[in-house]
Structure 1
Amino acid sequence: MNVDATTGPAPAATAPAAGVGWPRTKGSWIHGWDAEDTQQWEGGGRAIATRNLRWSIACEFLGFVVWQLWSIVVVYLPAAGFHFSSAELFWLISMPSLTGATLRIPYTFMVARFGGRNWTITSALLLLVPTLGLAACTANPGTPFGVMLAVAALAGLGGGNFASSMANITHFFPAREKGWALGLNAAGGNLGAAVAQLMVPVAVTALAAGTLGLPLAGLVWVPLIALAAWGAWKYMDNLSGATSDIAGSLACLKEPHLWILALLYVGTFGSFIGFSAVFPKLIVDSFGPHVGFTLGTATISLAFLGALVGSLARPYGGRLADRWGGARVTVACFAILALTALAQLLTLPLGSFPLFIALFLVLFAAAGAGNGSTYRMIPVVFALRSRSRDGGPDGGPGGGPGGGPARRAAAALGLISALGAYGGFLVPQVLNASRLATGSYAGAFTGFVAAYLLLMAVTWFTYLRRSPAASLAGI
């Protein structure tokens, strides 16, 4: 075993007792990390990886919180004296998803450039910009819409955190435990959307002593962000072996299955994050601002349940994919999404809130499970493609253009997570267009039904169709 947490050459050393770890020095760099080395892993590697995972989850959780703050803040803007149109409110909801999806692309490479610990500290501290900006602009009802939109765009910094967090944690765990670790990391982050929608109403009403203190929607997270950045500084590590894979990313862009899987991820993760963002406004538009339960002086919208259910369903989607195959589970998820969107379309005129919330929770569960199953498909697809194209289990000599299947899959995971997040922008904008055109959301749900059926057909045709041409059948 040859692991050293110094910046110099890695001396040969005897493994410390499990859970003890290696000496931590200035910079907290670990050289010679090899999670696949069983002796190294059991001799302290597991403890180091677990410690880094915990603080990665904490920072990513706050990233999702910040990413989704505007989804709940917008429903309070009219009562706080802001005179924005419904279309402008939809833009405030969807803009963080647009910038967050875009930032995921460069964030994917920041871990290799600066170190996982270093970038986690930096990306956590960057969350102070959108939270303090939100507090400043919501303190004045005269703040121009352009300024509000720019500050909402800054919330996308929280969405970028997912890409760097996943890129960092994947280096710490062996292949046999990577799926579970990444699932925990993703689910822990996704829960931030639910917590934001639960806690913001408490902050802006109960903590504001009965007044509507919108600045508290941002300020309440500042000490937690500072604590998470401190924890990353004190307890996380940089891995010198974590390298960026620009060549692999460029090679992936030429792979047709990258774009197919990205489209599927738009349908699953895009639905989750898009509906999570717009759910509070949908409830207010359809049933009024006082639907929910009372906590002190605060009325808590049940919108947080959607993001909560979707987050908890994600790891189970991955587990079902392990057993039944990712494509089969993804097809089932798209079928449920289509049926649920159709049921929502048919029952909206009834004005039944219990039915409305129940159907949406089914939709969130299917989207969350679809996140896990689609994400699970990516490394399998790229491994099979590399084997069939390059003539061997490792992609032939040198792994072929762009490296072997593991490198291609790792690059694809980052790119697909970025492309899929654009669904978080599309869902609110489709709902907004439907409301502007017809005065209702029925047209949007008709479009969602058609989109889910199309994605279900694409998944089946590409990955499950039984024919000689379907070399990837059964994934």
Structure 2
Amino acid sequence: MAEKTVKSTWLTGWDPEDEDAWRQGGHRVARRNLILSVLSEHIGFSVWTLWSVLVLFMSPETGLAFNPGEKFLLVATPTVVGALLRLPYSYAVTRFGGRNWTVFATLLLLVPTLLAMYFVRQPGTPLWVFLLIGAVGGVGGGNFASSMTNITAFFPQRHQGWALGLNAGGGNLGVAAVQLIGLAVISVAGRTHPEYVAAIYLPLILIVAALAARRMDNVDAVRTAPGAQREAVRDPDTWWISLLYIGTFGSFIGFGFAFGLVLQNEFDASPVQAVGYTFLGPLLGSFSRPLGGWLADRLGGERVTFWNFLGMGAGTVVLIAASRVGSLGLFVAAFTALFVLSGLGNGSTYKMIPAVFARKAEGEVTSGRDAKGTFVRARQLSGAVIAVAGSVGALGGAAINLAFLVSYSDGSGSGTPAFLAFLAYYVLCITVIRVVYLRRRPAETRTAPGGVRESSRV
């Protein structure tokens, strides 16, 4: 299945669809790389969302008094940069290899972490400095795309929903982890030491980089064929799936950045209260992402994503009602449900990518094209689409923060205009899935390469 020499860190001849080779040891290689990929992505997400916690420390007491609009702008900045970096990060892993790029990208996280640790304890630091540091922190968001592209090459089609869901879910846990660390710092050291939150990640970054250098592999299968990304950009399915991913991942990361600030503006919550509530939603949403991939493996990504958006629409209606009656408990419960559903949708939407292109490949093989080459091309296109969809979806997180900025900047203390905008978008996603996928592609035709049905058991 693969060869590895002492002089090379590249696995050659890797073919995860070879079931004999997979059983004889290929699955252990894939699993080892998956575990280390999750660790690196987890740290990346934590650094990326670091400012969702640090802004809660900013107050006249710490000499960093910014208004709500400025704080929402600050948390939106790393979201935008992280989204824009996803395409080059995804390409980089195909150029330099999964192991090599993971080591570099992990060590790069030291820069925004050190900058945040220093400047956040400097009273009177102007907003533009924090905006610049937040932009540098966007590198943590790029890790997701390179990690997902790399892991796609290690696993066979029948396991990709589970593997991609676990990889992304473990990374998404970084959002909850940094908020738990923020809660611990506030509880133990008070709200005047935000630098402790950043400092905790310095040794973790070094440890994960060392483990990746020692135990990860570069695999030749991750190399993208010339023009694969250009071809993916021209494919309509790339943009339909990206639109859906804005609704799922955009909601998850946007809510993750903004939830604490929303509670402060909507219910005048203290920093301790805000951090105490905010970690639960991202935590459950991260755990639900692999479940979304698992369900999509069995029921079909389109079907799971459709019902998921119906649930997100209903949850948003409850959120609006809770805001209007001033019920903190109902508001937190509805927001937590949206986190869980967005996590499920992340997993099921990503599962749609390899499944959609596998079906296209089957159609080409039926028309007389070479089977092996066609399915290899489909896998390469899937990796390119994952990069595009991941980048566009992350921009949805920035849009959510900007929607909150507009809602709360008028002094009304209500996020209802933003919630109504989210509801309208979820309705749009429901319509797209229904018209573009469920009507066009009946469940009984969903198969994967080699004749494995998308709903087959892992």
Cα 1:233–1:399 change in 2 (3 A) is closer
Deviates more, 1:417-426 or 1:31-40: 31-40
Q: Any idea what SS the aligned residue of 1:186 has?
A: helix
Tell me what 1:145 maps to: 127
- Which of 180, 186, 190 matches 2:172? 190
One-letter amino acid of the structure 1 residue matched with residue 156 of structure 2:
P
Describe how 1:301-316 pairs up with structure 2 within 5 A. 301-316=276-291
Tell me what 2:293 maps to: 318
- Which of 170, 174, 190 matches 2:152? 170
- The 8 Å contact of residues 205 and 213 in structure 1, kept in 2 or not, is answered as no
Tell me what 2:408 maps to: 435
Asked if 1:461 is matched to 2:435, the reply is yes
| Offset at residue 438 of structure 1 (A) | 6.2
Tell me what 2:324 maps to: 349
Tell me what 1:219 maps to: 199
Cα 1:37–1:324 change in 2 (3 A) is closer
- The 8 Å contact of residues 280 and 303 in structure 1, kept in 2 or not, is answered as yes
Distance 1:329 1:422 in 2: 23
Tell me what 1:248 maps to: 228
Q: TM-score, with normalisation over the residues of structure 2?
A: 0.90
Tell me what 1:290 maps to: 270
Equivalences, count: 442
Distance 2:142 2:114 in 1: 18
Deviates more, 1:122-131 or 1:432-441: 432-441
- Which of 218, 235, 254 matches 1:238? 218
Tell me what 2:390 maps to: 417
Distance 1:306 1:395 in 2: 47
| Offset at residue 95 of structure 1 (A) | 0.9
- The 8 Å contact of residues 161 and 297 in structure 2, kept in 1 or not, is answered as no
Distance 1:26 1:230 in 2: 19
- Which of 251, 263, 268 matches 1:271? 251
Tell me what 1:108 maps to: 90
One-letter amino acid of the structure 1 residue matched with residue 199 of structure 2:
L
- The 8 Å contact of residues 285 and 341 in structure 2, kept in 1 or not, is answered as yes
One-letter amino acid of the structure 1 residue matched with residue 115 of structure 2:
G
Tell me what 2:102 maps to: 120
Answer 1 or 2: which has greater helix percent. Answer: 2
Structure 2 gap ranges (5+)? 447-458
- The 8 Å contact of residues 387 and 394 in structure 1, kept in 2 or not, is answered as no
Tell me what 1:381 maps to: 356
Deviates more, 1:284-293 or 1:424-433: 284-293
Distance 1:458 1:349 in 2: 30
| Offset at residue 262 of structure 1 (A) | 0.4
Tell me what 1:40 maps to: 21
Cα 1:332–1:205 change in 2 (3 A) is same
| Offset at residue 288 of structure 1 (A) | 2.9
Distance 2:372 2:151 in 1: 25
| Offset at residue 91 of structure 1 (A) | 0.9
One-letter amino acid of the structure 1 residue matched with residue 282 of structure 2:
A
| Offset at residue 387 of structure 1 (A) | 4.4
Q: Any idea what SS the aligned residue of 2:227 has?
A: helix
Distance 2:377 2:208 in 1: 35
Larger radius of gyration: 1
Distance 1:393 1:305 in 2: 50
Cα 1:344–1:111 change in 2 (3 A) is same
Structure 1 gap ranges (5+)? 7-24, 294-298
One-letter amino acid of the structure 2 residue matched with residue 50 of structure 1:
R
- Which of 35, 46, 49 matches 1:68? 49
Deviates more, 1:370-379 or 1:92-101: 370-379
One-letter amino acid of the structure 1 residue matched with residue 325 of structure 2:
L
Q: Any idea what SS the aligned residue of 1:404 has?
A: helix
Q: Any idea what SS the aligned residue of 1:141 has?
A: coil
Distance 1:86 1:67 in 2: 20
- The 8 Å contact of residues 395 and 405 in structure 1, kept in 2 or not, is answered as no
Tell me what 1:55 maps to: 36
- The 8 Å contact of residues 57 and 271 in structure 2, kept in 1 or not, is answered as no
- The 8 Å contact of residues 193 and 307 in structure 1, kept in 2 or not, is answered as yes
- The 8 Å contact of residues 187 and 272 in structure 2, kept in 1 or not, is answered as no
Q: Any idea what SS the aligned residue of 1:349 has?
A: helix
Residues 291-312 of structure 1 deviation map (CA, whole Å, 9 limit, x = unaligned): 767xxxxx85210111011111
Q: Any idea what SS the aligned residue of 1:142 has?
A: coil
Distance 1:337 1:387 in 2: 33
| Offset at residue 189 of structure 1 (A) | 0.4
Tell me what 1:92 maps to: 74
Distance 1:140 1:361 in 2: 34
Tell me what 1:4 maps to: 3
Tell me what 1:444 maps to: 418
Distance 2:28 2:302 in 1: 34
Q: Which has the higher contact order (CA 8 A, sep 6+)?
A: 2
One-letter amino acid of the structure 2 residue matched with residue 34 of structure 1:
D
Cα 1:188–1:289 change in 2 (3 A) is same
Cα 1:240–1:371 change in 2 (3 A) is closer
Distance 2:254 2:325 in 1: 24
| Offset at residue 104 of structure 1 (A) | 0.6
| Offset at residue 213 of structure 1 (A) | 0.9
Distance 1:190 1:412 in 2: 20
Distance 1:5 1:365 in 2: 41
- The 8 Å contact of residues 251 and 400 in structure 2, kept in 1 or not, is answered as yes
| Offset at residue 226 of structure 1 (A) | 0.5
Cα 1:174–1:384 change in 2 (3 A) is closer
| Offset at residue 405 of structure 1 (A) | 2.4
Residues 232-276 of structure 1 deviation map (CA, whole Å, 9 limit, x = unaligned): 111112224431234121111111111111001100111111111
| Offset at residue 44 of structure 1 (A) | 3.1
Tell me what 2:451 maps to: none
- Which of 6, 21, 31 matches 2:12? 31
Q: Any idea what SS the aligned residue of 2:382 has?
A: helix
Q: Any idea what SS the aligned residue of 1:132 has?
A: helix
| Offset at residue 75 of structure 1 (A) | 1.3
